[in-house]
Structure 1
Amino acid sequence: MLRVAMDDTDALYPLLIRFFAHERQEIADFNKAVKQFGQDLPQVLTALRDLIAEKRAASRDFGAAEAAFLKHAQDAINPAVSEEDVQEMLIQHILTEDIFAKVFDNPDFHRQNNVASELYKLEEKLLGYGEKQKLLRALQPYYAGISQAAAVIQSHSEKQGFLKGLYENFYKVYNAKAADRLGVVYTPGEIVRFMIRSADWLCEKHFGKNLVDRGVEILDPATGTGTFIVELLEHFRGDHAKLRHKYKEELHANEVAILPYYVANLNIEATYQAITGQFAEFENLCFVDTLDNVDALGIHSGHQFDLLGGMADENMERVKRQNRRKISVIIGNPPYNVGQKSENDNNKNRAYSHIDSRIRHTYVSQSMAQKTAAYDMYVRFYRWATDRLSDEGMVAFITNRSFLDAQNLDGFRKTIARDFSAAWVIDLGGGCKEQSDFVGD
């Protein structure tokens, strides 16, 4: 133990530097493993993709199971899901199975969750006895580092932060382009809590109700790792009776990518258990592309209400159940990249025919700009959310700030002013992806 006099600045300064630079051995080992992970992962991915290609050609059972899951994914997520997308879902599932079990001490999750269990069946047809361990041998230092770091994490909130950071770093190593296209970014808890408290205040000011009250149904359409739903549960923790009702009936979330879907599921269920002391499945999380789920946009869409009618599996039942609900508050951090910077990026956002048509007939038709490219993802989410709300409701999003003054978004501003009775904006004045804006009604 080192001791120095507090008034001996020459001796105190290096002691403080040493103190704050100290890193527990488990954390140091984990950080070292993360760096090694970035070097080892490409080789493991190549081996997994080669194995899937071989199995697809040689095994009718695997081919049939993959085709069945592809059909489900096209129906439940969006029709543009491809065989390659299913392959990547399966690979992500295989690579992260042990991570979630270690961090949340929930080894049964992949067998019990309705989407994970289907991918697990596909995994069983892909990998024979011992093949998984052999393929992932190079990544064992990474998994060991996670296990050691997770063991010293005491609180539930620390586990959440650890897992979300792990997810973000994993995805950017795994597929940087997809991370950018999907808007993979960790939303700071301080911003989320501010938005929830602001939405609560606005809800009371404009509608005479608080978020926790019955009849106020809340949807996060791009939930990512579930941060907004988790913080809503924390916000409601003072009233367990209302919290239980909200959790079962009036909190809804969507996610389109498999990894954040898993993380959100685990985060939300673990938070509810930590608050109430009881485990309950979160049955209102849907594995679906929100912008393709236009079934409930009854005011403008012209779609039949039960467009998804024929599917009977649990995830589709969740989507259909959500579409029957009267949503009051839509809150979250949707992706807001406009797509690739150049044609060489090969990273375009896909088209959404219904939402893009609504944008053309509203935001674009109201614009005076000679060239209007109003199809940024956040603009699509504003259009979807506005159409999804009932007559009384609010939208609260973190977004790009370009809608405030961009010439080609003058039609967006006109339409928002027409569609909402009030708009509250907090502009932090940053550039794209470096600011937070809040809009509510």
Structure 2
Amino acid sequence: MALPKIKADAQGPIDRYIVAVAEKYQTGQAREHAYRPTFEALIHTLDPALKILNDPSRSEHGNPDFVFLRGDITAGYAETKDVGVDLEKTEKSEQMERYLGYSNLILTDYLEFRFFRNGSRYGEPVCIGAIEGGKLVPKPEVFSELADALTGFLASKPEPIKSGVRLAEIMGGKARRIRDNVRRFLADKADTDTDLLRIYESVKKMLVHDLTPETFADMYAQTLVYGLFVARYHDESQDTFSRAEARDLVPESNPFLRQFFNHIAGPDFNKRLRYIVDELCAVFACADIRELMEEYFKKNGAAQGQDPVVHFYEDFLKEYDAELRKKMGAYYTPLPVVRFIVRSVDHILKTEFGLADGLADTAKLPDGRHKVQVLDPAVGTGTFISAVIRNIYEQLIAQGQKGRWPAYVHHDLLPRIHGFELMMAAYTIAHLKLSIAFKQTGFTIFNKRLGIYLTNSLEQAEPQTDIFSLGFAQSIAEEAKQAAVIKNETPIMIVLGNPPYSGESSNTFYTGHDVYKVEPGGKEKLKERNSKWINDDYVKFIRLAESMIQKNGEGVVAMITAHGYLDNPTFRGMRWHLMKTFTEIYVLDLHGNSKKKEKASDGSKDENVFDIQQGVAILIAIKHKDKGDKELSNIFCADYTGPRAAKFAFLEKNFQAIEWQKTIPSAPNYEWRVRDTEALGQYQEGFSVQDLFQVSSVGIVTARDAMSLQWTRQDIERVVSDFQESPEEELRTKYDLGKDARDWKVSLAKKDVIKSYDEKRFVQMTYRPFDLRWTFYTGNSKGFHCMPRNEVMQHLLSAKNYALVVPKQLPDGEAGGAYVTKNIGGHKSFCAYNINYYFPLYLCHENGEHTLNFNKKVLDKISGSIGESTPEQIFDYIYAVLNSATYTKKWREFLKSDFPRVPYPKDKKQFVVLAALGKELRELHLLESPKVRKYITSYPESGSNIVEKIARKGGDVYINTEQYFGDVPEVAWNFYIGGYQPAQKWLKDRRGRALANDDIEHYQKIIVALIETDRIMREIDAIE
């Protein structure tokens, strides 16, 4: 191969570089690493002042191949690929995604050079040669352009950040780099950073005993990156910023944070982490953080009074790891909510406990300790404690006592405000934010530390006594020791805050809330088949708060939490226990539950005060010392629905200005709702479906629908065959199964299939209304299906049985009613937002016999008013009643709380008429009625039958540009069965599939069934 033709007198660095690359390329043996010395020589020639590091071990661990240093500051990075590699594909690869956190990055195949700044393209690519016909053909006309581009890129200052969104992206990228490096350091024993390892071991031993290296890496990265951001936000010297400056901004009164920032700024700080942190410091130094934040909140329509630093933390978390944010339940509490809670506590202390100064009161207990001790057990970034400080400060100012403030803080405030936080970044922000908040009031000399401790509130800490702990470990030991004193010895009178909401609790070790898992009365275990929501973290924090007030003998709990516990039957034991403990309980339900499609009272949109789907409520529970545990507390309720801004305005009211309505919760569920007691009594005269049917359960949870539910029997047979024969990891990849879960693992699914294989196990399953899928049903828990609910589903493997399908609670926004199936079924087959329960008509035994699944006592009472009847007639009577729109509208409030109750038949005549209509409805929903074959629609055009873009034009429903179902009535198109619109949902679930002839017929049957359902429901409503 001939070398590229370059002019003989060409002496430029790019000329020499291309010749050297060509020499290696023409050997035919050179690979990516062979060109690295040539590339390094080029960079050195262009910028001799740069220190160039090329560490092969770096690239093995997912880092760029080259680092360029100017002094101690990172000037850039380079990722090199073999000559001729498609850089377009590389740019879109997962590897490049990891590099988004790098400030200046060059991507090259040694001929083409692409430039990136913080993950975004910078300038235009420069290509100095190409491979044509196996030869390297240079492009000398762009040599000087490359020289200028490389020199300028590596000499340039950090990108000036012009938006808060961009800043969050950069910070998130840096944090991910730090996290990934820390994870690698701790995983690779040969490359372990001893300083990092000591910190990890100290935190695990003394603070978070179930800490994993992965979780520690998260904590460490967040603390470091966001701690620097907060420090820069409050830095007066805007021209410079460094790790050392950040350390100096940490108050000396906090030995833990002081030690952490000493670690960051110290000479032993890990070299690779130092590169990243110094890059970030350089970014901060080139940005006016305060101005950026102000502009950021103007553009993003921030709610009144939000702290930019704290709110931006949430946006940082979204960029860093959105799933972690969700898992930790971290959501910023809007100031209107915080202020309302703090004002309410202050008012209650003054009016209920005779403390004239409320939160500012300095009353002492006989042992000399302050009486009004305040704790936020999930302090987050310190918003509630900051509001408490502001409330007290304003009271003293209003009294003309500003001069007392420094002495008051030192002697009568710092000793009695406490906060616990598990997330190191939030803990860091809280300390810096609160120390600055104090400085803004004129208090600057901290002789005592702030009472914010890094600890898991739910973990009963024991004081650490390791006298040999030094440095960082010593500061953590002191942190744990002081947190244990608060938990075990301090007489907490006020517990307030916004605890995390997480149904999948990370605090599985905590059992204090087991006292809630009882039936009201406290003697029987809670009879709930699916009680997972009582293990939500917010429930555990409420129990923690309750126990602290019980221990103190009096006090107030004031929290904003998820609102499910107010009326969900699963929480009846919790409600009863709280009513035993407290004297008075106030609940302000702010609603906003988009999962349940909650609406405002006027039918308009109901917005949440948080950016979450779960509705929320404020709980204020008051306990006096003379409260006995035999009488139950008084319950006062209030609600507010509507736009978020209106809710914030409403929360500017004082506690006493709220129109509280007293309610008397009653057995069996003790709901905290204002109910029409007369209507409730009338509703409860009927029988509950749970009382009539002896055996029932929730629907099947497969845990892997896409794999375990297939369109045809042949499809599921192929899946099962794969599970019999293929290795676990091959199955995981082929079926995109992801990581194993607690109750579903590839290994267990495979074992179940092999052990339980039988042709009879291939069955159809009700997935959605009018939508059956094929599956392999073994009935074994934690097998091919996660939760197969065999205690009920075994009775639906017979063709001679039916099951009633209803949710335990009717969500707002759903049509209500009931569904029927002859097959096993899933947990979301009818109701989209709440779990569905299955009530089989018969119990099928191994000997082939069927026994009626009715409670004899309830059956006898039904028979008393109607005489003889068949089980099917009673089933159909229930089906007709539950599918009455009038019934749903009349009893909707009560249907939200528990299984539906059905009125006993008035007489034989009414029963027979309703049972006949129910039978007709059942046959329609099972598509067994002869009427469904009398199509009212057409399918006039032939074609691919592939469902592509679904659109209804006029009366025609198009599945692609050419084919459509003609004359689909609007009533059918928009009709709801439970939480779904079958005419739409059935097609949407088949996007990308070609409809078979059976499918085309099936859809037209659905349309008939929907039209007929509408007719029958109106007939049912007309019966008195």
Structure 1 letter corresponding to 2:435: E
What one-letter code is carried by the residue in structure 2 that aligns with 1:284? G
Distance 1:435 1:47, change over 3 A: closer
> Match for 2:165 among 13, 17, 34?
34
Q: Please give the alpha-carbon distance, in whole angstroms, between the structure 1 residues aligned to 2:558 and 2:201.
A: 34
Secondary structure (helix, strand or coil) at the match of 1:399 reads strand
Residue among 497, 505, 530 paired with 1:371? 530
Please show how residues 192-207 of structure 1 align to structure 2 within 5 Å.
192-207=338-353
Q: In the alignment, residue 354 of structure 2 is paired with which amino acid?
A: G
1:49 to 163, 166, 180: 180
Name the aligned partner's letter for residue 50 of structure 1.
Answer: N
Aligned residue in 2 for 1:86: 216
Q: Could you tell me which residue of structure 2 aligns to residue 349 of structure 1?
A: 506
Q: Which runs of 5+ in 2 are unaligned?
A: 1-159, 236-244, 296-303, 363-370, 397-404, 467-473, 594-612, 623-1024
TM-fit CA distance, 1:138: 7.5
Separation of aligned partners in 2, 1:146 and 1:359: 51
**1:20-419 aligned within 5 A:** 32=163, 34-35=165-166, 37-38=168-169, 41-42=172-173, 45-46=176-177, 49-50=180-181, 53-54=184-185, 57-58=189-190, 62-63=193-194, 65-105=195-235, 107=246, 108-110=248-250, 112=252, 113-120=254-261, 122-123=263-264, 124=266, 125-128=268-271, 132-133=274-275, 137=279, 141=283, 144-145=286-287, 147=289, 149=291, 161-209=307-355, 210-214=358-362, 215-237=371-393, 238-239=395-396, 240=405, 241-280=407-446, 282-292=449-459, 294=460, 307-311=462-466, 313-323=477-487, 324-339=489-504, 349-360=506-517, 367-373=526-532, 374-389=534-549, 390-419=552-581
Shift, 1:43, TM fit: 7.2
How far is 1:227 from its partner? Answer: 0.6
What SS does the aligned partner of 1:291 have? coil
Asked if 2 retains the 8 angstrom alpha-carbon contact of 1:104 and 1:266, the reply is no
- 1:366 Cα deviation from its structure 2 partner: 6.1
Displacement of 1:35 = 3.1
Give the conservation status (yes or no) of the 8 Å contact 1:223–1:253: yes
Cα deviation 1:323-345 (Å, max 9, x = unaligned): 32100010001011212xxxxxx
Q: Which amino acid aligns with 1:116?
A: L
Kept in 1: contact 2:183–2:214 (CA 8 A): no
- 1:85 is displaced (CA, Å) by 2.2
Amino acid at match of 1:202: I
Does the CA-based 8 Å contact 1:44-1:138 persist in structure 2?
A: no
Q: Aligned equivalents of 2:189 and 2:225: distance in 1? A: 23
Question: How many angstroms does 1:314 deviate by?
Answer: 2.4
Aligned to 1:424: 586
Q: Distance in 2 between matches of 1:181 and 1:171?
A: 11
How has the CA–CA distance of structure 1 residues 349 and 418 changed in structure 2, closer, same or farther, with 3 Å as cutoff? same
The alpha-carbon distance between structure 1 residues 41 and 218, as it changes in their structure 2 partners (threshold 3 A), is closer
Alpha-carbon spacing, 1:436–1:211, altered in 2? closer, same or farther (3 Å) = same
Residues 557, 621 of structure 2: 8 Å contact kept: yes
CA contact (8 A) 2:223 2:426 kept: no
Deviation at 1:286, TM superposition (A): 0.4
| 8 A Cα contact 1:199 1:440, kept in partner | no
Asked if structure 1 preserves the Cα contact closer than 8 Å seen for 2:496 and 2:559, the reply is yes
CA distance, structure 2, for counterparts of residue 202 and residue 38 of structure 1: 44
Q: 1:193 and 1:277, CA in 2 relative to 1: closer, same or farther beyond 3 A?
A: same
CA contact (8 A) 2:561 2:617 kept: yes
- Tell me, yes or no, if the aligned pair for 2:507 and 2:537 is still in contact at 8 Å: no
Greater share of strand: 2
C-alpha displacement of 1:102: 1.4
Give the 3 Å change call, closer, same or farther, for CA 246–177 of structure 1 in structure 2.
farther
Q: Distance in 2 between matches of 1:271 and 1:111?
A: 13
**Alpha carbons 2:162, 2:292 under 8 Å: kept:** no
| SS of structure 1 residue aligned to 2:585 | coil
Secondary structure class of the residue paired with 1:163: helix
Bigger-Rg structure (1/2) = 2
TM-score, normalised with respect to structure 1: 0.77
- Deviations along 1:38-85, whole A, 9 cap, x unmatched? 27844762466236625854456x33x334323332244321111222
Secondary structure (helix, strand or coil) at the match of 1:194 reads helix
Offset of residue 213 of structure 1: 1.3
Q: Could you tell me how far apart the structure 2 residues matched to 1:422 and 1:435 are?
A: 20
1:381/1:362 CA distance change after superposition, 3 Å: farther
On the 8 A contact 1:48/1:135 being kept in 2, the answer is: no
Higher relative contact order (CA 8 A, sep 6+): 1
Q: Deviations over 1:158-210 (max 9, x none)?
A: 99712112211111211112211222211111111111111112222322122
Q: 3-state SS of the aligned residue for 2:557?
A: strand
Take 1:439 and 1:159, find their aligned partners in 2: how far apart are those partners?
23
Say if 1:434 and 1:353 are closer, same or farther in 2 by CA, change over 3 A: closer
SS at match of 1:426: strand
In the alignment, what sits opposite 2:470? none
State the TM-score, normalized to the length of structure 2: 0.35
Q: Which moved more, 1:378-387 or 1:317-326?
A: 317-326
Identity fraction in percent: 20
Aligned AA (2:166): K
Q: Deviations over 1:228-275 (max 9, x none)?
A: 111111111133254443432111011110111111101111111211
Which amino acid in the other structure matches residue 537 of structure 2?
Answer: M
Work out the CA distance in 2 between the residues paired with 1:47 and 1:192.
33
Check 1:138–1:385 CA distance in 2 against 1; reply closer, same or farther (3 A cut). closer
- Partner Cα distance (2:275, 2:191) in 1: 21
Distance of aligned partners of 1:36 and 1:220 in 2 relative to their CA distance in 1, 3 Å threshold: closer
Cα distance in 1, alignment partners of residues 373 and 414 from structure 2? 11
Measured in 1, the distance between the counterparts of 2:506 and 2:465 equals 29
Change (3 A) 1:111 1:59: farther
RMSD: 3.2
Greater Cα offset, 279-288 or 137-146: 137-146
How far, CA to CA, are the matches of 2:519 and 2:374 in structure 1?
25
Residues 335 and 378, structure 1, Cα contact 8 Å, conserved in 2: yes
Equivalent-residue separation in structure 1 for 2:326 and 2:221 (angstroms): 19
Cα 1:96/1:138, change in 2 over 3 Å: closer
Change (3 A) 1:42 1:331: same
State the distance in 2 between where 1:317 and 1:402 align: 36
Q: Is the 8 A contact 2:501 2:538 kept in 1?
A: yes
Report if aligned partners of 1:428, 1:435 keep a CA contact under 8 Å in 2. Answer: yes
Inter-CA distance 405–45: structure 2 relative to 1 (3 Å threshold) = same
- Residue 516 of structure 2 contacts residue 571 of structure 2 at CA under 8 Å; is this kept in 1? no
Amino acid aligned to 1:176: A
Task: Name the CA distance, whole Å, in 1 between partners of 2:591 and 2:570.
Answer: 19
